[in-house]
Chain A
Amino acid sequence: MPHISIPEGLPGIIGPLSLRPDVASPLSELCEVLMRGENSLSRGERELIATYVSSLNDCFFCQNAHGGLAQHYLQCDMNYIDQITTDYSSTRLSDKMKALLRIATSVQKGGKHVTTEQVEKAKSLGATDIEIHDTVLIAAAFCMFNRYVDGLDTWAPTDRQFYIGRAKQRAEEGYRLSRTAHEK
């Protein structure tokens, strides 16, 4: 049971956001800009960073909601996403993407864990300052979202198919709350 009274049946972050439109607005806007705004990192790559950090933080809802979106954008299956969260270095992801995931791993531990060597490596593989900035901020933001979702002990469907099934619709509608959370 969640730590505070949250409307029943709303999975993960949707519950607390439905209670609090005042915080829902900047939180959804941040997610929209980071994950869907114009960017040289594809939406799939950004969802992958979010999924990976959520997996490191052991947040079931976020890693599956964003993993579902990542597999939709990247046109792969959930097994491939699981391979990445288990050991991304052994996958066929680009070396640049691996270097960015390495930075995200450090951010998850704490900002000071990011090293000059990690950043130089990413730059040498073609990562731009904006891409490095966005990787750091996506990783940091999911350290927030994950703590918000689990710190209130929100409910989440345990069937992973649930997240895969709704990924296409979530990808199309984006993160801005154009309709009430209850309709989702």
Chain B
Amino acid sequence: MAHITLPEGLPGIRGPMAFRPETAKPLNALVEVLLRDDNTLTRGERELIATYVSYLNDCFFCQNAHGGIAQHYLACDINYIDKVKADYQSTDLSDKLKSLLSIAASVQKGGKHVTTEQIEKAKSLGATDHEIHDTVLIAAAFCMYNRYVDGLGTWAPQDRNIYIERGPRRAAEGYINFDLYK
């Protein structure tokens, strides 16, 4: 049971968003800009960063909701997403994306864990300042969303297939103009 009385039947972040529309608005606007706006990082790559950080924070809802969207964009299956989470270094992701995931992992521990070496490595592999900025902020933002979802003890469906099935629709509708109840 959630720590506070939330509208029933809404999974994960949707409960507190329906409970407090004033804060839902900027929270959704932020994720829309970070994960869907024009960017040299693809939507799939950005969803993967969000999924990976949510996995490091052990947030079941976020890692599955965004993992479902990531596998849709990347046209892979959820096993591949699980491999990325467990050990991205051993996957066929680009070296640049691996260097960005390394930065995201440091941000998850705390901002000061990001080292000059990690940044130089990413830059040497072609990462732009814009991409590094967005990686840091996506990772930081999911340290917020994950804590929000779990800190209120929200409910989430345990069947991972639900998230996979919803991936394409979530990808199509985006984070701003959607019905919290659908």
Question: Once the chains bind, are A58 and B110 in contact (CB under 8 Å)?
Answer: yes
Pick the contact of A140 from B22, B107, B151 — CB < 8 Å? Answer: B151
Q: How many residues on chain A are close to B (CB under 8 Å)?
A: 49
**Which stretch of B25-33, B72-80, B86-94 is in the interface?**
B25-33
Question: Once the chains bind, are B110 and A29 in contact (CB under 8 Å)?
Answer: no
Question: Once the chains bind, are B112 and A150 in contact (CB under 8 Å)?
Answer: yes
Given known A22-B33, A106-B151, contact A153–B144 (CB-CB < 8 A):
no
Interface residues of B in 131-161 (CB under 8 A from A): 132-133, 136-137, 139-141, 143-153
Nearest Cβ on chain B to A136's Cβ, whole angstroms: 4
Question: Once the chains bind, are A147 and B136 in contact (CB under 8 Å)?
Answer: yes
Question: Once the chains bind, are B116 and A141 in contact (CB under 8 Å)?
Answer: no
The answer for the CA separation of A37 and B25 in the assembled complex, in Å, is 13
The answer for the CA separation of A19 and B146 in the assembled complex, in Å, is 26
Which residues of the other chain, B, contact A136 by a CB distance below 8 angstroms?
Answer: 3, 147-148, 151-152
Nearest B residue to A120, CB-CB: B3
Nearest Cβ on chain B to A112's Cβ, whole angstroms: 5
Nearest Cβ on chain B to A105's Cβ, whole angstroms: 11
Interface residues of B in 34-56 (CB under 8 A from A): 34, 37
The answer for the CA separation of A86 and B34 in the assembled complex, in Å, is 35
Nearest B residue to A132, CB-CB: B4
Given known A30-B30, A111-B59, A147-B110, contact A3–B147 (CB-CB < 8 A):
no
Nearest Cβ on chain A to B28's Cβ, whole angstroms: 8
Q: Is A48 an interface residue (CB 8 A)?
A: no
Interface residues of A in 124-160 (CB under 8 A from B): 129-130, 132-134, 136-137, 139-141, 143-153
Report which B residues bind A (CB closer than 8 A): 3-5, 16, 19-20, 22-23, 25-27, 29-30, 33-34, 37, 57-59, 103, 106-107, 110-112, 114, 116, 119, 129, 132-133, 136-137, 139-141, 143-153
Task: Identify 7 new A-B residue pairs, CB closer than 8 A, beyond the known A5-B129, A26-B27.
Answer: A26-B33, A37-B22, A119-B4, A133-B20, A139-B151, A140-B145, A151-B140
What 5 A-B pairs are tightest by C-beta distance, nearest first? A150-B111, A111-B150, A147-B140, A144-B144, A140-B147
